[in-house]
Structure 1
């Protein structure tokens, strides 16, 4: 499939997804398989979890849009799926759910190289992240935090 056709298809599918309150995270067309595989990864625009029913619900309008576009002239399999679980903590829900779990915090402190801290997620406020590092609570201003991910504890 030509790159321009993939872009056109992605643009059309994004419009359809928006109607159904979904967002397309990625569109991948695997031409090395027979038949080709069109893999669409979606998420809900309101941030709720994607269910199997949601994927099934979006299958028909996505299929119809692909067929009506006439951008593909080959057989294909359509796969609709969710992003799955990420180890990066981003939402308020993530911070509540994983309180007490081991995390890696990637820092970008002024005038120094990026650093990492490991500890147990203790608290998140609007201004800082607090982690428990071997029994001591360390408060890190959010201005210094680049990324917070779940991890395994290291001695």
Structure 2
């Protein structure tokens, strides 16, 4: 499949997804497979989680759009899925859900030898992140935090 047809197909599928209150996060067409595999990763426009039922619901309109477009004139397998769970904490919901869980905090401290901190997620405010390191609460200003990820604690 050439780039132009792939782009046309992606545009068509995005319109269909929007009608069903979904967004297409990724479209991957594996032309090296026989039959071709079309993988679509979706999310909800309102930010809610994607369920198996959502994937099944989007399967029919996506398949119909592919068929009607005549951009794939061969047999294919259509796979609809969600983004899954990321280990990186980014949303307020993530911080509430994983309070008390072990996290790895990557730091942006230019004049420090410490680049990572491991501890239990304690609190997040608009100004700082608090983690519990061996019973001591450490508050880290957000301008010093690069990334916060779930992890396993190291002794």
Instruction: Tell me the TM-score range normalised by the shorter chain.
Output: over 0.9
Q: Which runs of 5+ in 1 are unaligned?
A: none
After TM superposition, the runs of 4+ consecutive aligned structure 1 residues lying more than 4 A away are 110-114
Verify: 1:137 aligned to 2:137, yes or no: yes
Residues 84-137 of structure 1 deviation map (CA, whole Å, 9 limit, x = unaligned): 111111121211111111001112235668922111100011111111112221
Verify: 1:74 aligned to 2:62, yes or no: no
CA contact (8 A) 1:108 1:114 kept: no
Using the TM superposition, name which of 71-80 and 106-115 deviates more.
106-115
What is the CA distance between 1:81 and its match in structure 2? Answer: 0.6
Q: Which runs of 5+ in 2 are unaligned?
A: none
Q: Which residue of 2 aligns with 1:126?
A: 126
SS, match of residue 4 in structure 1: helix
**Number of residues paired by the alignment?**
155
Return the alpha-carbon distance in structure 1 between the equivalents of residues 60 and 86 of structure 2. Answer: 27
SS, match of residue 6 in structure 2: helix
Q: Which residue of 1 aligns with 2:52?
A: 52
Return the alpha-carbon distance in structure 1 between the equivalents of residues 114 and 131 of structure 2. Answer: 18
Return the alpha-carbon distance in structure 1 between the equivalents of residues 33 and 51 of structure 2. Answer: 27
CA gap 1:114/1:59 in 2 versus in 1, 3 angstroms: farther
Verify: 1:25 aligned to 2:25, yes or no: yes
CA gap 1:123/1:61 in 2 versus in 1, 3 angstroms: same
SS, match of residue 66 in structure 1: helix
Return the alpha-carbon distance in structure 1 between the equivalents of residues 150 and 12 of structure 2. Answer: 35
